[in-house]
Structure 1
Amino acid sequence: ITHTENVIPYAFAGDTSGDYNSWTPTVGSHLLKVISYAGANATGIATLAKVIHFTVTQGVVSVTPTPSPMPSATPTPVSSGPTISSITLINADSDVEQPLDGVSGHSSIITEGSNFDLSKVGQALNVRADTESAVSVKFNLDGGTVSHIENVPPFSLASDTNGDYHSWTPALGNHTLQVTGYSDINLGGIEGATLTIHFTVKSTVSTTPTPAPTPSPVPTATPSTGGGGSPVSTTEPSSYSPPTTITHGGTYSGNWQSTNMDVPAVTINTSEPVIIQNCHVSHNGTGIETAGSNANLTVRNCSFHGRTPTQDNRGRGGAILAPYFKNLVVENNFFENTATVVQAYFYNGNATDQETLRVRFNKVRNINGNFRNNTTGFSWENFVAIQNFVQSAGNPRYGEIAWNDVVNEPYKSSCEDIINFYSAGGRADSWFKVHDNFLSGAYHPNPHDDNGSAGGIQIDGPDNTRTAYIEVYNNSISQVLNGGMGAAAGSHVYMHSNRVVSSSKEYVTDPVNGSWTTGSYAGLWIFESVAGASPAMSDIRIENNLVGWANPDYVQPYKNRLDFLPQYNLGGGIKNNIPWPDQAITKATEDNEYQLFVQKVFSNNVKLGPQQ
């Protein structure tokens, strides 16, 4: 369903002067994507989309009729409750019953003492409870190692979406499965007898996942800036100059501040080459803005300091805003408490290495779109937002986002996609490269907001032609509400050799055990954000990544994990990835991921942040 609204209130099913039209969602899992535009009828500059996953269920109401008086009542037998007649093995790839011996036409019923071989039945499996009378079903595997409740048929251990079974791979060895039916939803009503089955899983071919690489010890003397170098202090100066406008090319240094949210600290109003270096920029609104001047801008060795908004219900400004640019280079800078760090719209360069987009060697702490006057309001912000490369110039060659250290902390930041491509990318002879970044944290002001919508790296937009030729590799991603990385649009997108590992917990309210951030969803995804786009999405590959994304509501591939869901694997491009071992992912795990990044920075002699 696709719908466009031009008049407030913006309603999915429309309205008439505030009288909302009725809409009844179908039972099952859904994905809702909302995009706002600057112009009417979905025209003009598009903002980043908000994506929400939700599930609709439908219970059965038990109605007890009023008994009629009878001269001599006959006692009614007490119901024994719903029965589970059998347990069936399911192939989650084909969504059909899977014979235990792998031979078509043979039995798929798991009976007491059954065994099956993963080399014959595959690893994408599920288990269905067969019942004619149960309204809800409880599964208990191995004494609670996996415990799951189903309210909608087919009742399956690893759940499903409208009959599209989710994938589950059982561990090798002996198992005990207990299944119980109930006469009402959520294990209500009468409890039926529990069906208990013991079965064995084996494999003539080893299916043990490749262990995650054991991190090497990180030298305690290694500086977080990495690679030595000559870093300069990011501490703010004692005084600033007022806002300035640059109208001619050249190299500029200084310290500028703007406290007016509608006036940038630095405005670039020339297409001549401008270099801004060795500076501090303090801003409530935008830090540096190119003002639509088809800019050629380099920003290096500067520190940006975002300030609390001076107006209610409005987010602070971004650090660098470059609409209509031909060259933008942002290297060796420090950013704290700003809104979107780099916004790059409408590329107008000549597609040479002198007119491109490069964002490298920067340090970022706490991207912040929070409003000043309430605890839940915020604006959608990013580290890098690359959008609407729809000009005749096409996409740039030699585009690169690399070696950036980005950390957002819960309760101190609010961020959507950390890196977002929207109708933008590279070229067939020069793919846009996103590599060797550390991307951690994308929270709402309340990290426990259920409506997580962010991605560590998201490929997005309505255009599968411009959104193309993007390679993503050697990045580390964690703690993102909604998930790690994926594509919702595009063609020729290749994501490989990344580390996508998250505990999906924040450790402020509970420093020891952590507290689940319920908006965190899955590690990887491929889905179509705009149905029917022409040409269709194609050649999306997400392969050979190390993936471990914690989620307490799923068993994919292990308990408390959702590395990815088969129904969000459009075209089957998510394959041959390495699952993190079946063990808890904790804050120590995430801290170690950062130390691995620091070690990599140091060993490659990369210098992060402002340098002398």
Structure 2
Amino acid sequence: MRVLHFSPHAASPTFNGPLIITKGGTYSGSWESRDSEVPAVEVRTSEPVIIEDSKIRGAGFLIRSQGYGADITVRNTTGHGLPPTPYSDYAKPRRFLAVDVFRNVVVENCYLEKTAGIYLGVEYTGNGSPGQSIKIRYNKVRNITGEVYQGKELVQFVQFNYRGEVPHAEIAWNEVINEPGASAVEDNINIYNSRGTTDSPIRIHNNYIQGAFPNPLHLTEYSGGGILTDSPGTDSLEATAYVKVYENQLVGLGNYCLGIAGGNHIEMHHNQAVVAAQFPDGEPYHFWTSGIWAKDYYKTGNTFNNSMHHNTLAVLGRNRDWRNEIFDSTFAAADEFANSILPDSITRRLEDAEFILWQEKLRDQRINIGPVSTI
């Protein structure tokens, strides 16, 4: 059953105005909002909603659901950010999908450009089955940016910030490329006070993540990077836990590649990081770079039983020095790691080789990323 509610807000000739969905069903179309205060698509139902074979553009949230215990699947859909407009109350970054309170979220085979990525927050209310979980897979992403009207927010390709344990959750086989000066991303993937389960940890694997830079680009300080578990919560049942990060490729990132800022029962293994710390024009990065770090950053006592092992690091610092070291102030962060690439071999050519390797992996696994239908 399809129930379409169109807003009178003006839209371009090839796009309809904003859409409000109040009934479950399958929806396909082209929608946009040129007002940062109005989502391009808003889901106001707990019934299962599928958005597929669609085009969505927005100056604020592209797809939004708030407080409905949502069950949303988005597939074969493109999302583009439009120039942001003034906002009231709080900033509305151009999240491709922002959901507060959910039972099930699936984002597969989508293309995102100049958006603020995917945010899942507040609370998981599902039953713990594979059909009520989180799947973010096979997406192609370009230039994550937190741009809002006259400013910017800290945004990610994916951030989890929910309460409750989610089994069967997966972030996998995504291609994320951020260009210097054209993107404004914090951590590309951030797991914040969010949990998997003992038997079914959150799995973050086989993603290709390239680029993480300060914005404006001339800044020398930058706090973002690659994949981070973050956990300032003081409640042991709230802290980030049960996460596995493996077989990811991390290329050309500023600040760090893999990090544990808090949480427990986290394992990061068999990832590969290659950072030549050099812009396309040959200029070296003017901000910090490093491979792996791990510590109880918030000193809440909830950081334990973590490991980093068998990760391959080829990371140069901003001064062309060796930055493969693993920072550890609280526990054995790395049981073992490979360090077989000499510093003078870490060049942009080596970074380029990582993308070729990624394409070979996709072919070998017969995986198509981005929309698989003509839209």
TM-score (norm. length: structure 2):
0.90
Q: In the alignment, which residue of structure 2 is the partner of 1:433?
A: 203
The match for 1:528 among 296, 299, 303 is 296
Query: How many residues are aligned here?
Result: 356
8 Å CA contact 1:550, 1:562 repeated in 2: yes
The match for 2:225 among 455, 466, 491 is 455
The C-alpha deviation readout for 1:248-295, integer Å capped at 9, x for no partner, is: 111111100101101101110000111000000010010000122110
Q: In the alignment, which residue of structure 2 is the partner of 1:137?
A: none
8 Å CA contact 1:439, 1:477 repeated in 2: yes
Q: In the alignment, which residue of structure 2 is the partner of 1:82?
A: none
Instruction: Work out the CA distance in 2 between the residues paired with 1:355 and 1:442.
Output: 32
The match for 2:75 among 279, 300, 305 is 300
Instruction: Work out the CA distance in 2 between the residues paired with 1:294 and 1:423.
Output: 19
Instruction: Work out the CA distance in 1 between the residues paired with 2:67 and 2:254.
Output: 33
Instruction: Work out the CA distance in 1 between the residues paired with 2:28 and 2:123.
Output: 27
Please tell me whether residue 519 in structure 1 is matched to residue 287 in structure 2. yes
Instruction: Work out the CA distance in 1 between the residues paired with 2:29 and 2:318.
Output: 50
The C-alpha deviation readout for 1:579-605, integer Å capped at 9, x for no partner, is: 142123221111110110011001100
Q: In the alignment, which residue of structure 1 is the partner of 2:337?
A: 577
**Aligned to 1:248, what secondary structure does the other structure show?**
coil
The C-alpha deviation readout for 1:498-550, integer Å capped at 9, x for no partner, is: 1011112222xxx2xx222232321101111212x14x311111100111111
Deviation at 1:336, TM superposition (A): 0.3
Deviation at 1:575, TM superposition (A): 3.0
Cα distance change on mapping 1:395 and 1:498 into 2, 3 Å: same
Q: In the alignment, which residue of structure 2 is the partner of 1:418?
A: 188
Instruction: Work out the CA distance in 1 between the residues paired with 2:264 and 2:297.
Output: 13
Instruction: Work out the CA distance in 2 between the residues paired with 1:520 and 1:552.
Output: 6
Q: Residues 264-413 of structure 1: matches in 2 within 5 Å?
A: 264-311=39-86, 316-371=93-148, 373=150, 377-389=151-163, 394-413=164-183
Q: In the alignment, which residue of structure 2 is the partner of 1:167?
A: none
8 Å CA contact 2:35, 2:84 repeated in 1: no
Deviation at 1:315, TM superposition (A): 6.7
Instruction: Work out the CA distance in 1 between the residues paired with 2:269 and 2:64.
Output: 34
Deviation at 1:565, TM superposition (A): 4.5
Q: In the alignment, which residue of structure 2 is the partner of 1:254?
A: 29
Matched to 2:336, the amino acid is N
Instruction: Work out the CA distance in 1 between the residues paired with 2:251 and 2:13.
Output: 36
The C-alpha deviation readout for 1:161-197, integer Å capped at 9, x for no partner, is: xxxxxxxxxxxxxxxxxxxxxxxxxxxxxxxxxxxxx
**Aligned to 1:293, what secondary structure does the other structure show?**
strand
Deviation at 1:388, TM superposition (A): 3.1
The C-alpha deviation readout for 1:544-569, integer Å capped at 9, x for no partner, is: 0111111044xxxxx71111244x34
Instruction: Work out the CA distance in 2 between the residues paired with 1:580 and 1:597.
Output: 20
Q: In the alignment, which residue of structure 2 is the partner of 1:545?
A: 311
Matched to 2:52, the amino acid is Q
Matched to 1:323, the amino acid is D
The match for 2:362 among 597, 601, 606 is 601
Instruction: Work out the CA distance in 2 between the residues paired with 1:523 and 1:448.
Output: 22
8 Å CA contact 2:61, 2:92 repeated in 1: no
The match for 1:502 among 247, 271, 275 is 275
Instruction: Work out the CA distance in 2 between the residues paired with 1:355 and 1:303.
Output: 24
Q: In the alignment, which residue of structure 2 is the partner of 1:491?
A: 264
The C-alpha deviation readout for 1:375-398, integer Å capped at 9, x for no partner, is: xx4221100000132xxxx21110
**Aligned to 1:545, what secondary structure does the other structure show?**
strand
Instruction: Work out the CA distance in 1 between the residues paired with 2:74 and 2:148.
Output: 27
Cα distance change on mapping 1:371 and 1:328 into 2, 3 Å: closer
Instruction: Work out the CA distance in 1 between the residues paired with 2:156 and 2:33.
Output: 21
Instruction: Work out the CA distance in 2 between the residues paired with 1:456 and 1:437.
Output: 11
Instruction: Work out the CA distance in 2 between the residues paired with 1:486 and 1:444.
Output: 18
Instruction: Work out the CA distance in 2 between the residues paired with 1:580 and 1:544.
Output: 12
**Aligned to 1:515, what secondary structure does the other structure show?**
coil
Instruction: Work out the CA distance in 2 between the residues paired with 1:518 and 1:539.
Output: 35
Instruction: Work out the CA distance in 2 between the residues paired with 1:298 and 1:365.
Output: 21
Matched to 1:360, the amino acid is R
Instruction: Work out the CA distance in 2 between the residues paired with 1:296 and 1:400.
Output: 16
Please tell me whether residue 442 in structure 1 is matched to residue 212 in structure 2. yes
**Aligned to 2:67, what secondary structure does the other structure show?**
coil
Q: In the alignment, which residue of structure 1 is the partner of 2:20?
A: 245
The C-alpha deviation readout for 1:425-445, integer Å capped at 9, x for no partner, is: 210011110000001111122
Q: Residues 143-292 of structure 1: matches in 2 within 5 Å?
A: 239-292=14-67
Give the fraction of aligned pairs with identical amino acids, expressed as a percent. Answer: 32
Instruction: Work out the CA distance in 2 between the residues paired with 1:479 and 1:570.
Output: 27
Q: In the alignment, which residue of structure 2 is the partner of 1:60?
A: none
Cα distance change on mapping 1:257 and 1:290 into 2, 3 Å: same
TM-score (norm. length: structure 1):
0.56
Root-mean-square deviation over aligned CA pairs: 1.9
* Largest Rg, 1 or 2: 1
Instruction: Work out the CA distance in 2 between the residues paired with 1:578 and 1:278.
Output: 43
Deviation at 1:486, TM superposition (A): 1.4
Matched to 1:322, the amino acid is V
8 Å CA contact 1:370, 1:445 repeated in 2: no
Deviation at 1:371, TM superposition (A): 4.8
**Aligned to 2:331, what secondary structure does the other structure show?**
helix
The C-alpha deviation readout for 1:121-141, integer Å capped at 9, x for no partner, is: xxxxxxxxxxxxxxxxxxxxx
Cα distance change on mapping 1:503 and 1:360 into 2, 3 Å: same
Instruction: Work out the CA distance in 2 between the residues paired with 1:343 and 1:515.
Output: 37
Instruction: Work out the CA distance in 2 between the residues paired with 1:315 and 1:327.
Output: 23
Matched to 1:545, the amino acid is N
The unaligned stretches of length 5 or more in structure 2 are 1-11
Instruction: Work out the CA distance in 1 between the residues paired with 2:335 and 2:289.
Output: 19
Instruction: Work out the CA distance in 2 between the residues paired with 1:538 and 1:294.
Output: 32
**Aligned to 2:46, what secondary structure does the other structure show?**
coil
Q: In the alignment, which residue of structure 1 is the partner of 2:351?
A: 590
Cα distance change on mapping 1:450 and 1:603 into 2, 3 Å: same
8 Å CA contact 2:291, 2:315 repeated in 1: yes
